[in-house]
Structure 1
Amino acid sequence: MLEALTHAMLKAARDAGADDAEALAIRAAATGIDIRGGRLEHAERAEAVEIGLRVLVGGRQASVSGADHSQDSIEVMARRAVAMARSGPVDDSIGLADPDQLARDLDATSLELFDPGAEPDPATLEERALRAEQSALGVSGVATVESANASYSRRQSWMALSNGFEGGHRRSQFSTSCTAISGTGRDMERDHAGEGRIWDEDMPTPEEIGQLAAERAVSRAGARKPPTGAFPILYDERISSGLIGHLLGAVNGAAIVRGSSWLRDAMGMQVLPGGITLREDPHLRRMSSSRVFDAEGLATAPRDIVRDGMLQGWTLDLATARKLGLVSTASAVRGLGSAPAPGNSNIVMTEGARSRDELIADMGRGLLVTSLLGSSINATTGDYSRGAAGFWVENGQISHPVNECTIAGNLRDMLLRLTPANDARDWRSVRVPSLLVEGMTVAGA
């Protein structure tokens, strides 16, 4: 069915006057169960087939999408897209890949992106959410559980391009989460735990997830503001990927083309400490970001974004590569109603030799950050400021929980001064360990 829909969209685009076109069809289904107070709070089931079309006309482009995939609607969609493209600006960089650039091996079986086992029914998901809630409530100090959730989704996509490329991926996802609350009144503290996997057998038990959420909430009891000053900050592995995410955003080809990146002049320069490599690997098994081809039909391959601390290259799709006079890194991603743009797959960062506890001991006095909120980040200069909460470290040991503080620095300096721990989680699509950053500013009491 999906293949037939993409073929119908390509034909309609040609008939409407498009020079080239990309058609995408997605069949998705998802079931989610929320539990609160031992009872069903909310149940949701969604299932649909959606389509998207991108047309190119004389160096111009437009994208449209919809949920109605009747033949009449497809023809109307194609005519509308062509009319939109003809009124748009000319961009000589847009265009499909040459046929000799296209991926040949489209078999993603080895990546194990879909669990062929039985789909869990709502009763099974409800039972998992109840088990997570009951586990959290069994931890001393927990006042209540705000919510517990279990869900399942599956997604099948098919893409066809007028340059001859066709291919698709099939994916599944299981998840369980829990949010627990400790204390009462103004002393209430909330924390969360959640896990997601492609294969059900890889999931931790609901009891483990509920207990972790509860322990995190209880550990935050009595939080207060930290002192103000310059201190080392340890980003817990729960949130450290966000710090590396700022680097990935800064080397994205779209930011480089705009000239708005704080790393726009850093090609071939040191951006991380020596010995640290940041590798993108789209071929990791059972990872939701894995893929054998990108959104423009190019074959994906592992590559080093940073090697031994030195920046190796930008993240590029066809359009940004053409604008920079470079070659695409097969990094195109896209939604149903948008044109391709550069994006990342799985990221693996070099780990350090020491544990998080050893880095805490080396800190002496500083801040362990376990959650971040809000942000003021200048994409052009790299100036960084975020609200934070976590734990104060005194004499190399965790002293007490802290909240209502702001941490600040400059990303370029911060990344050059970081020290990684050895606690990265294999199941994360961005595998980054806890990161110790020296000399940041903490604004608290």
Structure 2
Amino acid sequence: MTIPPLDTLTSALLDAARRAGADAADAMAVQGTSLAIDMRGGVLEQAERSEGIDLGLRVMVGQRQANVSASDVSPATLAAMAERAVAMAREAPLDPYIGLADPAQLARAWDIAALEMCDPTPEPDPATLQDDAARAEAAALAVQGVAQVQSASAGYGLRHVHLAASNGFSAGYSRSDRSVSCVAISGTGTGMERDYDGDMRIFQSDLRSPEDIGQSAGHRAVERQGARKPKTGTYPVLFDERISSSLIGHLLAAINGSAIARGSSWLLGALGQPVLPDHLSLIEDPLRPRATASRPFDAEGLPTQRRAIVQDGILTGWTLDLATARKLGMQSTANAARGTSAPPSPSNWNVALTQGSASRDDLIRDMGTGLLVTSMIGATINPNTGDYSRGASGLWIENGQIAYPVNECTIAGNLRDMLRRILPANDARLHLSRVVPSLLVEGMTLAGD
């Protein structure tokens, strides 16, 4: 069956919603292609290619709403979606905060090309991806001490998105990605250790070489050999750039409008208060070119814009969509995100933390004795108090030098206190959607032997 253009499909969904009795509606169509290749032991282990389309329809009947989704584009399915959604909405609870944007709020002009969200080069053929994965695996195996490669993968994805609403909004964009990754294993039996590396970019031309990725994964796996538990105590902890963005992620979760509206956030009441060191800012920029979370408008059709979430250490605002903004008596920050199967909810786009002047090696030298964390597992985060506890592994630092690898330990603290005393390095990768350097936190509790 030939798939109609996405704007035609969303328009047809809105028409069906009106005929079914909806007072207002919005519709989303996502058409995607993905290709993934996995290599192991020098042979092709798995090859997958998928194509599909997903449709989502949200209807409002008075102050009640419902959302339905489907992957069939036939006219009969569109009509059935609308009828089912309206019937569901009539039985849904009243919500005084739902509603589409006022037409005056909608994005009117944008330059999608300037955001460089999609690589115009053709889809790579499977042989090209297989070669990338094979080269990454070979590079990892060439590292002395690597026993095997658990997996080496290469992938490609392309998505076309269109959003339309009964308030007059209708627009779409395309997004592509290209990736290579490798997981290497060192040692044997109970002495096996694993680590990884990978890269994902919008443009193939920006992607790191498979050899670089495989070699890095191999060296990281070998570096973990002979890991032991560190001693229990209070030490400085340096969060490696690979995982440091998780700390900022906890801050972003705490200022999400949904958490604030529920009253379940350890930053409740912190608006206008210091949450980071005075010299640090956290900037959100959804208009940054070649960044994976860039977009010209949000999932409610509002124009996105650069904003300071934290300015010189001070928390300046929440992350809001229309519903949470109305509930809090504020204005949306144009941070609505959605898939086809659920209504919009607040989410952050590209964020960047102020980088420091010191390198990661400088921080290691100056921290004396402590832990460099390179990976974490599990998490116990109290959303109301910010109490933080995570399993960690990495490298033990003594006298400002790497001494030996460590694993099976737990690091703990309170996020409010931790974030107020972070010291950033200067090693953040600028192409990521979360540009966060390695972060040093003094005085964390470490539980090991």
TM-score, normalising length: structure 2:
0.99
User: Quick check: 1:376 aligned with 2:380?
Assistant: yes
Equivalent residue for 1:9, pick from 13, 31, 37: 13
Deviations 1:394-420 (A, max 9, x none): 011110000000000000000011101
CA distances 1:303-344 after superposition (whole Å, capped 9, x unpaired): 000000000000000000001110000000001011101001
The answer for unaligned runs of 5 or more in structure 2 is none
Once the two structures are superposed, the pairs formed by residues 8-27 of structure 1 within 5 Å of their partners are: 8-27=12-31
Quick check: 2:185–2:192 contact (8 Å CA) kept in 1? yes
Match of 1:101 in 2: 105
SS in 1 for 2:352: strand
Code of the residue aligned with 2:245 in structure 1: it is: S
Asked whether the 8 Å contact 2:118–2:175 carries over to 1, the reply is: yes
| 2:172 matches 1:168 | yes
Matched position secondary structure for 1:285: coil
**What is aligned with 1:149?**
153
AA partner of residue 284 (structure 2) = E
**CA distance in structure 2 between the aligned counterparts of 1:106 and 1:7, rounded to whole angstroms:** 21
Contact 1:249/1:255 (8 A) holds in 2 = yes
How far did residue 119 of structure 1 move?
A: 1.1
* RMSD across aligned positions (CA): 0.6
Deviations 1:75-95 (A, max 9, x none): 111111111111111111100
For residues 370-402 of structure 1, give each alpha carbon's deviation from its aligned partner in whole angstroms, at most 9, with x where no partner exists. Answer: 001001100111000000000000011110000
Separation in 1 of the partners of 2:288 and 2:104? Answer: 25
Map 1:228-239 to 2 at 5 A: 228-239=232-243
1:418 has 2:427 as partner: no
CA contact (8 A) 2:292 2:432 kept: no
Q: Does the CA-based 8 Å contact 1:106-1:167 persist in structure 2?
A: no
Q: Which residue of 1 aligns with 2:223?
A: 219
Superposition deviation, residue 107 in structure 1: 3.0
Q: Where does the alignment leave 5 or more consecutive residues of structure 1 unmatched? A: none
**Moved >2 Å (runs of 4+):** none
- Contact 1:135/1:210 (CA < 8 Å) preserved in 2? yes
- 1:287 maps to which residue? 291
Report the CA distance between 1:106 and its aligned residue: 3.4
SS of the aligned residue for 2:241 comes to coil
- TM-score w.r.t. the length of structure 1 is 0.99
1:37-48 matches, cutoff 5 A: 37-48=41-52
Checking the alignment, whether the CA contact within 8 Å between 1:237 and 1:434 is kept in structure 2 is yes
Aligned to 1:403: 407
1:184 and 1:53 map into 2 onto residues whose CA distance is 52
Q: 1:118 Cα deviation (Å)?
A: 1.9
Instruction: Select 2:304's aligned residue among 285, 300, 317.
Output: 300
Q: Contact 2:368/2:397 (CA < 8 Å) preserved in 1?
A: yes
Aligned to 1:315: 319
Q: Deviations over 1:249-303 (max 9, x none)?
A: 0001000000000001100000000110000000111111000100000000000
Tell me the matched-pair count: 445
Q: How does 1:77-156 map to 2 (within 5 A)?
A: 77-156=81-160
Correspondence 1:165-204 to 2 at 5 A: 165-204=169-208
Deviations 1:59-103 (A, max 9, x none): 011111111110001111111111111111111110000000000
Identity within the alignment, %: 61
Equivalent residue number for residue 36 of structure 1: 40
Q: Distance in 2 between matches of 1:118 and 1:321?
A: 41
